[in-house]
Amino acid sequence: MTETRHITHWIGGKPFDGDAARRGDVYEPANGRVAGHVDFASAAEVDAAVAAAKAAFPGWRDTSLSKRTSVLFRFRELAAAHRDELAALISAEHGKVLSDAAGEVARGLEVVEFACGIPHLLKGGFSENVSTRVDAYSILQPLGVVAGITPFNFPAMVPMWMFPVAIACGNTFVLKPSEKDPSASVRIAELWAEAGLPDGVFNVVHGDKAAVDGLLHHPDVKAVSFVGSTPIARYIYGTAAANGKRVQALGGAKNHMLVLPDADLDLAADAAVSAGFGSAGERCMAISVAVAVDPVGDELMAKIRERVAKLKIGPGDHPESEMGPLVTKAHRDKVASYLDSAVAQGATLAIDGRETPVLGGAGDGFWLGPTVLDHVTPEMDAYKDEIFGPVLAVVRAGSYEEAMELISANPYGNGTAIFTNDGGAARRFQNEVEVGMVGINVPIPVPMAYYSFGGWKDSLFGDSHAHGMEGVHFYTRTKAVTARWLDPSHGGVNLGFPTNG
């Protein structure tokens, strides 16, 4: 019998050496086997991690920008060199195929590369002679100890949206990753140490709500970043803000893809399948609703059906697998429950993922193949809820205006896309749609690292999006300085208030 792994916290530059009162199981979704056990942090472990970060802060804050940048460059090189190893850890615990996991690490590294430019990004402003022999300038300074609370679906990329920028700006960081796939975060901590990051600047605590609440209420945590479902994002935002913290809380999504009659339907069908079923639909930027403006609905459906029939479902490390299992049995069962409820509410089950064959046999894995619900309407649960699985809902619309109203009326506003060959229609869409990230003939419009990631409405709580310049501003605060250096011929002390002149 294969020995199970033990995953513990990373505090003060080394693995935690204490005993855990509680632990959680870590599964291999492809076979349902318990592959490891992860320690759950109590208040004491959270306090220890925050204390380590607080102790490390003064030294890291005063470390030169050149030195910080050299550590970031070294971390980037190490993480890139170990990309396959990180991908294997992610694939084993999350279930996504290896190529998808490797792509996740690559996208995360783009934020590290952005953060390597921090000397330029932290430049303040300067105004000479604002009053007689008086200069004024602004500087950007770090906040102190900051925390990140991240989801299971991207155990490397989403933390990398946060900690590279936070650390580059001079903060120290406590990460609370998902307890479902915790190993990648610990390996990242080891790579930081190898890169020369001082002990305590980057810490990892594992656990559940007890660990989260410990960070949200801790007086020494100055800011909290979160990515997850909307109900939890709302809770994170309210609780952290009530405790005087700066908060960015990114919530759920119901991303629509609008297909106009003039669109290239082969391109649109490819996009619907890849964006709907990649990573088993477990991503906040997945396309979960395709809105077809008639008369193209039937033709689009036929092309989607052709492509889904060719997809190969199997374990993440199988060389032919294009989509893996879902992360847990409970989640798989919840996603599958929407199939029967949608049919009961009037939808057509065009493709039933429960019947999809699995490479090597399904065994006890958490499998659900690509599923398509056609003729979905807005009052159905499969439309209203964030399913977070490989279920694509197809909605028929009679016009651009009808489709536009549908998309903008949705309470979520994370991402959307339009497929068309009409530049005017695309320009009108990007101007009018009530959504934060827009793709034009691009199904998953995740911005590059030098722009910022985040949606509108119930997809974001707080004012700041992740990474890019909004990330730099989130992890810093501005200090304005007014300075007078008297000329040797000033003629004596002047205690008067400075005036213009």
Q: Are residues 285 and 392 in the same domain?
A: yes
Residue with tokens 């919530």: 251
Instruction: Tell me if 204 sits within 8 A of 185, measured CB to CB.
Output: yes
pTM above 0.75, yes or no: yes
Task: Retrieve residue 135's tokens.
Answer: 């200069």
Task: Retrieve residue 53's tokens.
Answer: 């970060």
Q: Are residues 274 and 232 in the same domain?
A: no
| pLDDT score, position 487 | 75
Provide the pairing of β-strand 415-419 with 255-259.
parallel
Q: Is residue 373 part of a domain?
A: yes
Q: Is residue 421 part of a domain?
A: yes
Q: Is 47 helix (H, G, I), strand (E, B) or coil?
A: helix
| pLDDT score, position 342 | 98
Q: Are residues 299 and 243 in the same domain?
A: no
Range of the domain at 170: 5-251+459-480
Q: 10 Å Cβ neighbour count for 305?
A: 15
Q: Are residues 150 and 229 in the same domain?
A: yes
**How many domains is the chain built from?**
2
Query: Measured between alpha carbons, how far is 234 from 232 in angstroms, rounded to an integer?
Result: 5
Instruction: Tell me if 460 sits within 8 A of 251, measured CB to CB.
Output: yes
Q: 10 Å Cβ neighbour count for 492?
A: 5
* CATH number of residue 97's parent domain: 3.40.605.10
**462 residue type, one letter:** G
**Among candidates 295, 278, 297, which has minimal Cα distance to 286?**
278
In tens digits, the chain (501 residues) has pLDDT values of 357 899 999 999 999 999 999 999 999 999 999 999 999 999 999 999 999 999 999 999 999 999 999 999 999 999 999 999 999 999 999 999 999 999 999 999 999 999 999 999 999 999 999 999 999 999 999 999 999 999 999 999 999 999 999 999 999 999 999 999 999 999 999 999 999 999 999 999 999 999 999 999 999 999 999 999 999 999 999 999 999 999 999 999 999 999 999 999 999 999 999 999 999 999 999 999 999 999 999 999 999 999 999 999 999 999 999 999 999 999 999 999 999 999 999 999 999 999 999 999 988 999 999 999 999 999 999 999 999 999 999 999 999 999 999 999 999 999 999 999 999 999 999 999 999 999 999 999 999 999 999 999 999 999 999 999 999 999 999 999 999 988 766 655 666 666 654
Running DSSP on this structure, what letter comes out for residue 281?
G
Candidate list 233, 259, 284, 323, residue with the active-site label? 284
Helices and strands: H and E segment counts in the chain:
16, 23
* CATH number of residue 354's parent domain: 3.40.309.10
388: left (phi over 0), alpha (psi -120 to 50) or beta: left
Query: Measured between alpha carbons, how far is 499 from 41 in angstroms, rounded to an integer?
Result: 57
Q: Is residue 120 part of a domain?
A: yes
Give catalytic status of residue 284 as yes or no: yes
Q: Are residues 217 and 300 in the same domain?
A: no
Q: Is residue 490 part of a domain?
A: no
Task: Retrieve residue 107's tokens.
Answer: 């996208």
Query: Measured between alpha carbons, how far is 227 from 248 in angstroms, rounded to an integer?
Result: 9
Q: Is residue 297 part of a domain?
A: yes
| pLDDT score, position 489 | 66
Q: Are residues 14 and 110 in the same domain?
A: yes
